[in-house]
Each structure stands twice: as structure tokens, then as C-alpha cells.
Amino acid sequence: MDVRRRPPKLPRVAENEPRAVSSSSPPPKASDALPLPLYLTNAIFFTLFFSVAYYLLHRWRDKIRSSTPLHVVTLSEIAAIVSLIASFIYLLGFFGIDFVQSFISRASNDAWDLDDEDSNAARPPPTPMPKLVAPEPIITALSTVEDEEIVKSVVDGSIPSYSLESKLGDCKRAALIRREALQRVTGRSLQGLPLDGFDYESVLGQCCEMPVGYVQIPVGIAGPLLLDGFEYSVPMATTEGCLVASTNRGCKAIYTSGGAVSTLLRDGMTRAPVVRFSTAKRASELKFFLEDPNNFDTLAVVFNRSSRFARLQNIRCSLAGKNLYIRFCCSTGDAMGMNMVSKGVQNVLEFLQSDFPDMDVIGISGNFCSDKKPAAVNWIEGRGKSVVCEAIIKEEVVKKVLKTSVASLVELNMLKNLTGSAIAGALGGFNAHAANIVSAIYIATGQDPAQNVESSHCITMMEGVNDGKDLHVSVTMPSIEVGTVGGGTQLASQSACLNLLGVKGASKESPGSNSRLLATIVAGSVLAGELSLMSAIAAGQLVNSHLKYNRSSRDMTKATS
């Protein structure tokens, strides 16, 4: 029978007896099977290959000249052809010697054997995969046998994790049991993620599902920010060193120069469903109907039924073939307003079905809104609150507080924020770091952090005024999306930060004024942050300040343990 060859067996030893390992004997090689040394064998086959190739070419040339058929071969020509093939096969194997060596080595490990015991003994034991990080010990916080049984039920899947709050009627206990089950399933400890000291009832059905703890983010205060004649201490939740200090320096420069002035340009949240018709002509008929001023009052009545604060402002449509994108814009009071505008849009779509029964609603949002994505429509048309904020910084303040000059700031702003961003193809990103300030204030005041994307659209302008002695600086932000009611604004920590700014909750005297004021504070804070960072870059202080405030020599391994 056909059995693959294998290397000679090693002498068998007992399991408890150590094996003798010879470090001097090299592993077998493919060239060991050759009768002659490798260099002589190679020379012979190289010479043979080129000799017979030359001989055959010479013979075939003579046949062509004498009109002799090439398939008529002599015994010597047959021998030459065989030699050519044999030498070619050898040379091919020689140049692939590494492959041959690996194949023989692999074959020797996997060689067949009629004796199963010998085969198993020759097979090397599997190498265990190393673990990248050793898991920390899991510390349980369960106090009752009943909780232990519930954890086991969650682990084995008989009780869904998401239903713990409704089954237990205690949100904190549900978070504790979910946390313990998660540690057992993953084998990883959540020690360090705090559980106590948080009101889990406040997030139920509103802010976060299936909680297992909360993350601590430090809140710093920048200011006072002198804006429109009032002073504001701006809370900023961040883990980036130097951010609060830099914004605070910008606030000082603005305060010393007499303060900043803001103007609210627009206030309207948007939602844009996408609908489809059988033809583009039919879709265009709905477009003309929606954009006809004679129909607006009727559509506004239908839309405004969704809320006592929702007020439809305008409708803009965009056609893509037989698909129509309808962008509704409305005021939303002190709420950020996404849910409010979505309800109004739903009312209008149901109303339109009577006159356009062939309208197929594909989605309540067709991304023409556009929410949580960089989009030119928000940069041009605006979304939420559109604000411009400006200040004139005196020459002596630029020199003493910001440590630079007016000319340097104007030049840097042109080359960095304007030209550099244009070269990069920026969309609404003609600024130094507006997203830094927006994100920090959003987290501190309970806004949706994901809306930082379009809310950070900002163009920063700087120019010399008063014969070039003073600096005029402004930020224009067309889509600041904020609210002072709903969502995370109702949590205790975030509510406290809103209260610090004087914009907590809904305004009873003038609905919407609190959210509009918050938007102007965001813009004023961005103005301060832009002014300070640009000054640090112009003065060459950026690296040194980050090394001072954004680096720590503390041993975090010992700190966490």
C-alpha cells in the first residue's frame, strides 16, 4: 500500500522520565536526500539543462532548414528531451527549496502511522494563546440570596436584562444585579465604575437604558464671560487639560475689553421626511403644493397641533427623481425640539394622504434635516439657533493678556482658519477648535453630545480696527442645537449647571428665551476659546501650555489600584 515516509522514530521514554534533547543535531533538510553535495548536484543539472537546450535548438534549426518535420525525432533527441524535462523539474524544486523544506517538515509532523499511540506521542502539544490583559478580580456587591438567584437567572437568560427595572420596581437594585451579571458573563471587573450616588429613577425611560453605573467627568468653570452686559460662569465638562484654562483666558480678554455682543439670527429646528411617488411628475406636484404660500396656513394649523410650543416657519423641498425630500422648520420653545418637530411632520404627512393617496412615506427622516451629520444645508440654511457673536479686543489686552499682537492674530486666522480650512475642504470648519467648547458645555448642561457635529459649524473672523491697533473678532455659528427642558437637562448635575447659567427649565414669561440665551452663551464661550487658542499658536505657547496642563506625572497604575 502507499504510505508516506516519515523520519526515523525516536526512542520511547516514560512520561515521567525527562527526554534528552540534543542541541547539536540539526533538523533534517530536503537536500539531505541528495546522493552528492548540493553544490555539485546543482552544477550538474544547470550544465545539463543548458546543454540539452542548446542541442535541441541546434537540431530543430537544422530540421527547419532541411524541411524535416519536427515530430520526427531520433533516439538521441528523445534522450535530450527527457534530460531537459528532468533538469527543469529539479531546478524548479531547487528554487522552491524553502517550500519543499517546509512541506517535508509539516509532513513529518503529520505523518501517518498505523500505531495510534506512536502518532499521538509524536504530535507536539498545542501552544496556549497568551492573554493580553489579566482580568482584575471580580468583587461582588450582592447582599441577599434572592439577588444571587436573580443574577443567575439573568446569566442563564431566563430573565432578560432589560426587564429588571419593571420586574424589581427598584432601579438601583436593577442596576446592581445587571452589573453583577455582566461581570460574571464577561469575566471582567467593573471595579472603578461607580454605582452609588446616582438617581437611576431619573434616567428610566428617558436618558439611558440598562445602566450599570455612571461615568464621572470633572466640570470646570470658565469666566466670568461678559456677554450682552451680563456675566456668566460657564460650566465645562471635559477631560482635556488646558481647555478650561484657555477658555478662561479668552473670557478675561473679552471682559477686560468691555465684553462681547451676540445676535440671534434664526431659531428653528428641522425634520425632513422622504416620500416616493410612481413618477417624478407626481412628486413635483406635491413639491409645488407644499411651497405654495396659499397652502402654508392650512399646513401650519395641522403641524402646530402637535404641541403648544411648535410653530411651523417654512417648508423647503428637494426633488431626486420621483423621490421628494420635505424639510420642515419650526420653533420649539425651550426644548431642543426633535421629538416636537417629528410629531408635527407626522401630522402633516397624514393630512397629505387624503389629497395624495399614492404618496409612499419611506422614512420620517431622509437626512435632508440634517441631524448629527456635517451637511451644507445646515451650514447655509441653519438648524436650531443661528448666532453671531463679536468683540473688540484692545491692543494692550492683546499684548498683556494674550501675549501676542493684532497683526499676528489677523494673519494666522487668515492662513489657518480660512485658507487652511479651504484647502482641507472643510464644511463649516473654519475655526480653531469650536467643537472643544461646544462639547464641554453640552455634556455639562445635558445636551445631546452627538449634535456637536453640526452645532460646531463655525467661521472665525479676525481683523484690525481703529487703524489696526485693536482686534475685531467674531464667530458665526448657524446651527447651535440646544434646549433647557427634556432629555438630559432634567438630571440633577446637568440641571445644576443650567441653573448656574440662569437658564434652567422653561421660561414662563417668554417661551424659548432660555434656550436662545443658552445658544448665545455657547457662541460667546466659543469666541473666548477661539481667541485664546489662536493667541497661543501665534505666540508659540501651545506646546508649552499643553505640557503644563495636559500631562501628568502621576502613576495611574497605583492610583487606580
At 336, the pLDDT band (50, 70, 90 cuts) reads very high
**Predicted model pTM:** 0.74
Q: Which among 73, 92, 111 is the end of a domain? A: 92
Q: How far is CA 259 from CA 308, 389, 418, in A?
A: 36, 11, 25
Q: Does residue 21 surpass a pLDDT of 50?
A: no
Mean pLDDT check: name the lowest of 8-12, 327-331, 388-392: 8-12
Residues 323, 309: contact at Cβ < 8 Å? no
In whole angstroms, give the CA distance from residue 512 to residue 523: 17
Q: Is residue 4 part of a domain?
A: no
Same domain? 389 vs 245: yes
Counted domains in the chain: 4
Mean pLDDT of the chain: 86
For the chain, the C-alpha Rg in angstroms (whole number) is 38
At 134, the pLDDT band (50, 70, 90 cuts) reads low
Q: Is residue 102 part of a domain?
A: no
Q: How far is CA 391 from CA 198, 475, 537, in A?
A: 41, 9, 20
Using CB atoms within 10 Å of the CB of residue 303, give its burial: 0 to 12 exposed, 13 to 18 middle, 19+ buried: buried
Q: Does residue 527 surpass a pLDDT of 90?
A: yes
Q: Which among 203, 233, 251 is the end of a domain? A: 203
Q: How far is CA 491 from CA 27, 199, 500, in A?
A: 70, 8, 14
At 507, the pLDDT band (50, 70, 90 cuts) reads very high
**For position 546, what pLDDT does the model report?**
59
Q: Give CA angle at 521 (199, 220), nearest 5°.
A: 50
Same domain? 504 vs 425: yes
Same domain? 390 vs 359: no
Over residues 86-97, mean pLDDT:
70
Q: Does residue 398 surpass a pLDDT of 80?
A: yes
Cell of 110: 503529520
Over residues 286-312, mean pLDDT:
95
Mean pLDDT check: name the lowest of 2-6, 482-486, 544-548: 2-6
**For position 496, what pLDDT does the model report?**
98
Q: For 95-130, what is each residue's pLDDT tens digit?
A: 555 444 554 455 444 444 444 444 444 555 665 655
Same domain? 199 vs 224: no
In whole angstroms, give the CA distance from residue 514 to residue 334: 6
Same domain? 263 vs 284: no
**For position 355, what pLDDT does the model report?**
95
Residue bearing cell 497568551? 130
Q: Does residue 532 surpass a pLDDT of 50?
A: yes
Q: How far is CA 185 from CA 77, 259, 484, in A?
A: 75, 56, 39
Same domain? 531 vs 418: yes
Same domain? 198 vs 229: no
> How far does the chain reach from its first CA to its final CA, in angstroms?
66
**For position 123, what pLDDT does the model report?**
55
Over residues 261-290, mean pLDDT:
97
Q: What 3-state DSSP class applies to 308?
A: coil
Q: Is residue 444 part of a domain?
A: yes
Same domain? 536 vs 398: yes
Q: Is residue 129 part of a domain?
A: no
CATH number at residue 433: 3.90.770.10
Q: Which among 306, 333, 363 is the end of a domain? A: 363
**For position 320, what pLDDT does the model report?**
97
Residues 312, 299: contact at Cβ < 8 Å? yes
**For position 63, what pLDDT does the model report?**
77
Q: How far is CA 400 from CA 421, 466, 539, 546, 547, in A?
A: 29, 19, 12, 20, 22
Q: For 154-176, what is each residue's pLDDT tens digit?
A: 999 999 999 999 999 999 999 99
Q: Is residue 173 part of a domain?
A: yes
Higher pLDDT, 6 or 496: 496
CATH number at residue 310: 3.30.70.420
**For position 115, what pLDDT does the model report?**
46
In whole angstroms, give the CA distance from residue 442 to residue 434: 12
At 341, the pLDDT band (50, 70, 90 cuts) reads very high
At 133, the pLDDT band (50, 70, 90 cuts) reads low
At 1, the pLDDT band (50, 70, 90 cuts) reads very low
In whole angstroms, give the CA distance from residue 516 to residue 334: 8
Q: Does residue 267 surpass a pLDDT of 90?
A: yes
The residues that bridge with 261 in the sheet, in sequence order, are 390
Cell of 371: 441631524
Same domain? 49 vs 187: no
What are the backbone dihedrals phi and psi of residue 400, each rounded to the nearest 5 degrees, phi first?
Answer: -85, -40
Q: Identify the domain containing residue 168 by its residue range.
A: 145-203
Same domain? 407 vs 543: yes
Q: Is residue 213 part of a domain?
A: no
CA torsion through residues 267, 273, 279, 282, sign: negative
Q: Does residue 556 surpass a pLDDT of 70?
A: no
Mean pLDDT check: name the lowest of 3-17, 128-142, 153-167: 3-17
Q: For 420-468, what is each residue's pLDDT tens digit?
A: 999 999 999 999 999 999 999 999 999 999 999 999 999 999 999 999 9
Percent pLDDT > 70 in the chain is 81
* Helix locations, 75-142, DSSP H: 75-95, 97-109, 116-122
Higher pLDDT, 354 or 129: 354
Same domain? 227 vs 154: no
Q: For 471-489, what is each residue's pLDDT tens digit?
A: 999 999 999 999 999 999 9
β-bridge pairing 274-276 and 360-363: antiparallel
Q: Is residue 192 part of a domain?
A: yes
**For position 550, what pLDDT does the model report?**
62
In whole angstroms, give the CA distance from residue 457 to residue 441: 15
Q: Does residue 23 surpass a pLDDT of 50?
A: no
Length of the chain: 561
Same domain? 258 vs 327: no
At 343, the pLDDT band (50, 70, 90 cuts) reads very high
Q: For 39-85, what is each residue's pLDDT tens digit?
A: 677 778 778 888 888 888 888 888 787 777 877 778 888 888 888 88
Q: Does residue 35 surpass a pLDDT of 70?
A: no
Q: Does residue 132 surpass a pLDDT of 60?
A: no
Over residues 244-255, mean pLDDT:
98
Run of H or E residues at 251 = helix 243-256
Residue 84: alpha-carbon gap to chain centroid: 62
What are the residues whose beta carbons fall under 8 Å from the beta carbon of 488, sequence distance 6 or more?
Answer: 207, 446, 447, 448, 494
Q: Is residue 21 part of a domain?
A: no
At 190, the pLDDT band (50, 70, 90 cuts) reads very high
- Give the residue numbers annotated as catalytic, written as ranges: 240, 372, 448, 546
